[in-house]
Chains A and B, each alone.
Chain A
Amino acid sequence: MRQRSLIAITAVLSAGALTLTACGSRDKKDSAGGDSGTTTVVIGVDAPLTGQNSATGLGIQYGTQIAVDEANAKKTVPGVTFKVVALDDKALPATGQQNASQLVADKQALGVIGPLNSGVATSMQQTFAAANLAEISPANTAPELTQGKNWQTAKKRPFKTYFRTATTDALQGGFAAQYAVKTLGKKKLFVVDDKQTYGAGLARLFKSNALKFGGKVIGEDHVNTGDRDFSSLVTKIKNSGADLVYYGGQYDESQVITKQLKDAGAKIPLFGGDGMFSDTYIKTAGKASEGDLATSVGVPLDTVDAAKDFIKTYKDKKYPGDYGTYGGYSFDAANALIKAVGEVVSANDGKLPGDLDKNRKDVVAAVQKTNFQGIAGPVAFDDYGDTVNKQLTVYQVKNGKWTAVKSGTFDAA
């Protein structure tokens, strides 16, 4: 009897496993088939699409989708139909690397938009570089991704295939510190980070700049991503007498921290980076978020005329997620790839050459030469793959909405 049920379970399990693999292989086949008249070019997207960070991650997916739909409708590149293949990295470096391998293996993929998390990017760069596949991140801000580990002393670009439309934390951390200490006059700072590549790096840069401007760091702590109870931490912050909390990390944790901080009776603002500049932050934290601050990359999308159509399409199509953080940069990044593919096609008498490796190399070279006016500002890359658009904006929650209070850039020297 026992034996039989064991056999039954094994049979069910293997049947299930087989069905799943069958699904997988069928999907693969579908994506390989293209229209007969045109060539299909895949633009990969890698971002967290579920769970942690997914609100801003979905903004990347659909920002790219809108650019691709537009290019297909306008036939921007004659003879080429673009297709988005969006993969979910769940904000995990290991998953990001698997996705990178999958995109590299896709014979139609000529470029990738993403990822969101700097920590995920570090695990993907090598894979893309080995395959000469262009990667443009609309969100990564860790300086070492483009300028190498010793970026403060000796800048050196580690990967020729990696570009980004977002500026770096070297500027963002300084911009935030300047605003907190100089503009707001907050001198007693409590700095918290989530120990991730992005969060810890940003917090460190905020700290060093704040010290330079005359601020004082009276307390520091670190949290784990996924933590939800911060009652001890907020009691500590409250008792430290800090007048501002700086958080390096994503909205998932900071929205809970700010709520518990205000509940504990500490009426001080929480200040963060682009990782927490999301409408979801305000929705979850509610009234507790009032007065909180965040820096984000670029100028506020809502105020740019060129972005009106983009925002309208995003809202009309009822796409999920928040477009405000990275949507515009994703749209611009996708257009940089589309234009690069266009260059390669027009250099070859209006047809995409058959050699995949050469195509990918040519796309990377074309992306490097990108120069156009995007919806979130000028799109062009310097020798390190960094954007020339160094705009940053400080936002504050006023009446339950992120309101831009200062736009500009930060002079690191």
Chain B
Amino acid sequence: MHALPQQLANGLFLGSMYGLIAIGYTMVYGIVQLINFAHGEIFMTGGFGALTVYVYVLPDGVSMWVAVPLMIVGGGLVAVLVAIGAERFAYRPLRGAPRLAPLITAIGLSLALQQLVFNLYPNAKSAISFPGLPFGPYHLAGIRIQAGDIFLLVAAPLCMAALAFFTKTSRTGRAMQATAQDPDTAQLMGINTNKIIVIAFAIGGFFAAIAGVAYGFKIGSVSYDMGFQAGLKAFTAAVLGGIGNIYGAMLGGVVLGLAEAVATAYISDIPGMQQLGGQAWAAVWAFVLLILVLLFRPQGLLGERVADRA
């Protein structure tokens, strides 16, 4: 098990990115019971929004200390607008329709957003390189940490703390919890549930944008189809952690990331398992883990019982 700390760190960084995206899935599901399959594309537009700010808005040679916050603002703005637009024009007209209708709409929207970026964004027909952070790598107890990972390491806990604080203490946050528990009663209590739903989409979109920026820094490029795989993994993370639970989403992401890293690194060392290990099998093992968790805890790691209402 050589280099275990480094592999666990790799998994943690990747997992925090999954977790940030997973929050959007889980919040939207918790409130409207909709699996927003277009969320991966919202993550993608966030990455492109940040890139646009860097390439077309900021002057050349601007310091990254100035650029990064503005990129987050730009990416966040784009992703939040896309998320709110999706809610308003694609999902709201179908509220109350059978479950299948919004699900199919989500898949359609996902394809539409991909193709929009593919066709309209300059040079988006293949991957576009993303600016890198000019510092790092850092060494900590034998672990090598890249600048892009530092960004995740700071952003993910900060986002989680802010979200927890918001839902626990603010008036809107509590209204959100009430809507998640019972939308009809919440409405009778005077909560504007439509507004709450929009806010859930917006928060999910903003978190996805942060993940999009992190992806750019970590991988070094963004592409129109980057949301597909990342979205699928994040959805898995949300289910693993217990869909509807925001802490579960982050935990699920981290567990998924760790599982992939450990599977890539060590499965092939087990005698007789050479063919079943390595990078290509990482996702397979992650899904095996998901199945095992769901067998013994159908509600996910931290999930509450939403099954009886669904």
Contacts and interface: CB of A to CB of B under 8 A. Distances in A.
A264 B142 CA distance: 12
B97 interface: yes
Of all A-B residue pairs in the complex, the 8 with the closest CB atoms, nearest first, are A232-B264, A231-B10, A222-B280, A221-B278, A232-B261, A50-B125, A223-B279, A239-B3
Given A232-B261, A239-B3, A263-B137, A283 B11 contact: no
Interface string B213-229: 00000111101111001
Contacts of A238: 3
Contacts of B226: 228
Q: How large is the interface on A (under 10, 10 to 19, 20 to 34, 35 or more residues)?
A: 35 or more
Interface in A3-29: 5
Contacts of A52: 126
Interface string B249-270: 0000000000011101100100
A49 B268 CA distance: 36
Interface of A: 2, 5, 49-52, 54-55, 192, 195, 220-224, 226-233, 235-236, 238-239, 252, 256, 259, 263-265, 280, 283-284, 286
A233 B129 contact: no
A235 B14 CA distance: 14
B309 interface: no
Contacts of A265: 137, 144
Given A232-B11, A235-B10, A239-B3, A227 B279 contact: yes
Given A51-B225, A223-B280, A256-B220, A283 B129 contact: yes
Given A52-B126, A195-B280, 16 more contacts: A2-B96, A50-B125, A55-B126, A192-B279, A222-B279, A227-B229, A227-B279, A228-B221, A231-B10, A231-B14, A232-B282, A235-B265, A238-B3, A265-B144, A284-B127, A284-B221
Given A2-B97, A232-B7, A239-B3, A222 B278 contact: yes
A233 B264 CA distance: 7
Contact of B279 (A49, A54, A232, A283): A232
Given A2-B97, A50-B126, A283-B129, A235 B278 contact: no
26 contacts: A2-B97, A51-B126, A54-B125, A221-B279, A221-B280, A222-B280, A226-B225, A227-B279, A228-B229, A229-B219, A230-B279, A231-B13, A232-B261, A232-B279, A235-B6, A238-B3, A239-B2, A239-B3, A252-B127, A256-B221, A263-B146, A265-B144, A283-B129, A284-B127, A284-B220, A286-B129
Contacts of B7: 232, 235
Contacts of B264: 221, 232-233, 236
Interface string B101-135: 00000000000000000100000011101001000
